[in-house]
Amino acid sequence: MKEMVFATNNPHKLDEIRKIGEGRLRILSLADIDCHEEIEETGNTLEENALIKARFIKEKYGYDCFADDTGLEVDALKGAPGVYSARYAGEGCSFTDNMDKLLTALQGIENRTAQFRTVIALVLNGKEYLFDGVIKGKIIEEKRGSTGFGYDPIFMPDGYDKTFAELGNEVKNTISHRALAMEKLVDFLIFHS
């Protein structure tokens, strides 16, 4: 079975991709290859950051690898917070700080459309590939729901009247930006193995 490293230590993401590739791919985490260092995300785009992480593992540890980066892109804010989604309200800020900052930035603005976008970079047999997954929706005016993480309580995907945090992980993980990008990646890997 094809063996690859996923440059993450996030157990939820590992779980998600292992389920999608079950029986067809063996996914190793950073801990599995004894990598315990922080990989700095110094890029200005999601693509750059995902590539930085995947290349780092290939160069230093020798494994074929993939890595992801995600951003919330709000149309009225010209795509912000985008690549800076994790630290929108400053270094070390909480998910609540980030949501509060975004709700304040959108106060009085009618256009609340937004999208989550995930980019996955893959380094395989000396070549690099990019896959993306997008889900469109809108930012509602106050937080609703308690599952998930990040901006889930204020993001309502198109076609639903619930936020990601109200839909629950089971539904979210079948329609999310990350799930869409991961499905493209898994299809590609299975086809090429």
Q: Does 131 bind ligand IMP (CB under 6 A)?
A: no
Cβ contacts of 78 within 8 Å, gap of 6 or more: none
CB of 129 to ligand IMP, least distance (A): 18
Nearer to ligand IMP, 66 or 164 (CB): 164
Cβ contacts of 125 within 8 Å, gap of 6 or more: 64
Dihedral sign, CA of 191, 21, 53, 138?
positive
> Among the candidate windows 19-27, 28-36, 52-60, 146-154, which touches ligand IMP by CB under 6 A?
146-154
Of the candidates 18, 31, 13, 4, the residue with the CA atom closest to the CA atom of residue 189: 4
Q: Does 145 bind ligand IMP (CB under 6 A)?
A: no
Nearer to ligand IMP, 10 or 193 (CB): 10
| Site pattern 59..88 for ligand IMP (x: CB under 6 A) | ----------xxxx------------xx--
Q: Please state, in angstroms and rounded to a whole number, the distance separating the CA atoms of residues 148 and 173.
A: 10
Of the candidates 184, 178, 183, 138, the residue with the CA atom closest to the CA atom of residue 157: 138
Is 68 catalytic? The answer is no
> Among the candidate windows 31-39, 100-108, 120-128, 148-156, which touches ligand IMP by CB under 6 A?
148-156
Q: In the chain, which ranges are E strands? A: 2-6, 25-28, 65-74, 81-82, 113-124, 127-139, 155-157
Structure tokens given for 145: 């729901």
Q: Does 152 bind ligand IMP (CB under 6 A)?
A: yes
Q: Does 6 bind ligand IMP (CB under 6 A)?
A: no
Binding residue (CB under 6 A) for ligand IMP from 151, 163, 180, 181: 151
Nearer to ligand IMP, 21 or 148 (CB): 148
Preceding peptide of 11 cis, ω within 30° = no
Q: Which residues are catalytic?
A: 69
Residues forming contacts to ligand IMP in the complex (CB under 6 A) are 69-72, 85-86, 98, 116, 148-152, 164, 176
